[in-house]
Amino acid sequence: MLEVAKLNVVRGATHVLKDVSFSIAAGELAALVGANGAGKSTTLLTLSGLLKARSGSAILNSPDGPLDLLRAPPEKIVRSGVVQCPEGRQIFQSLSVAENLSMGAYTRTDAAEIKRTLDQVEVLFPILAERRSVAAGTLSGGEQMMLAMGRALLAAPKLLLLDEPSLGLAPKMVEAIFDVVARLKASGVTILLIEQNAAMALEVADRAYVLEHGRIVKSGTGTDLANSDDVRRAYLGVGGQEAI
C-alpha cells in the first residue's frame, strides 16, 4: 500500500532522515520505534505533506493510481485516505467534543456516511458519546487522545498514521488505546504506528522498523524484533537500563 524509498529530510541545519526506506502492505500494522529525536514524527509529517523531503519517494497505491506523497499537497493526501493523528493531540480545546469530531470529516460530503462513521467512533469510544457537548479541553489526557483518534477516523482513513498514542497515559489507558488500535486493524484500516512504548507496539505490529538517528537499523516481524537481543537491550529494558 505504501512504499517509502530513500527518504531524506533536512530540518534547519539537521539532516534528520537519512535514506529511510520501508513499506506497508494493505491491512497491515507497521510499527516504527525509536528513541527521542530519532526522526519518527518527522517521518509522519513528511508522509502527510506537512514537511518537504529533500529526496526520495513515498508511493501510495490508491484506487486512483499511484500517488507520490512527497510530491502531493496535504489536502490531496488526506483525500486519498492518508490521515494523521498527530503527536500532542492538537484538538481544539474550547470547541465541544462533537465539533472536534465533525472537523475530522471536512473532506467528506455524504452526510449519511459521516453519521455512520460517527456512530462507529462512539461505539469504539463510549466516553466521547457521553461527553459529546462538553468543551474538549475539559477531557482527561487519555480521553483527549481518544478524541484525536476519533477525529482521525471521521476522515475515513485507508492508511492511519498514529504518532505516539500512548504518550503520557496511565497503564490502563495505554491498554485501552492499544485495544482500539488492534480493533481498527481488525476492521481493515492499514496503520503506521509510531511508539516509544516498543513493547506494546511490537506486540501488535505485523512488521516493525527501528529508527536510530534518522536511519532504519533493523526491520522484521513484530515478533522477530521483540525477540532480538539488540532490540531487547535498547528498547525493551531487558539486560540493560529500563527503557519503558
Ligand X SMILES: Nc1ncnc2c1ncn2[C@@H]1O[C@H](COP(=O)(O)OP(=O)(O)OP(=O)(O)O)[C@@H](O)[C@H]1O
Residues contributing to the site for Mg ion (CB under 5 A): 40-41, 87
Nearest-approach distance from CB 175 to Mg ion, in angstroms: 21
* 131 touches ligand X by CB under 6 A: no
- Residue 38 C-alpha from the chain's centroid: 16
240 binds, among ligand X, Mg ion, none (CB under 5 to 8 A by kind): none
Partner in contact with 11, chosen from Mg ion, ligand X, none, beta carbon below 5 to 8 Å by kind: ligand X
Residue 20 is a binding residue for ligand X (CB under 6 A): no
What is the closest distance, in whole angstroms, from the C-beta atom of residue 45 to ligand X in the complex?
Answer: 7
Residues 30-69 that bind ligand X (CB under 6 A): 34, 36-42
User: Of the ranges 12-20, 137-145, 219-227, 235-243, which one interacts with ligand X (CB under 6 A)?
Assistant: 12-20
Which residue's CB is nearer to ligand X, number 89 or number 131?
89
Instruction: Name the grid cell of 114.
Output: 459521516
Least distance (Å) from Mg ion to the CB of residue 11? 12
End-to-end CA distance of the chain: 31
How far are the Cα atoms of 6, 163, 165, 171, 218 from residue 18, in angstroms, in the given order?
7, 20, 25, 34, 14
Contact 195, 166 (CB under 8 A): yes
Q: Which of 2, 4, 16, 205 binds ligand X (CB under 6 A)?
A: 16
At residue 13, what is the residue type?
A
Shortest distance (Å) from residue 189 CB to ligand X: 22
Q: Which is nearer to Mg ion, 143 or 195 (CB)?
A: 195
State which of positions 196-215 bind ligand X (CB under 6 A). Answer: 196
Which residues would be at the binding site for ligand X (CB under 6 A)? Answer: 11-12, 14, 16, 34, 36-42, 87, 196
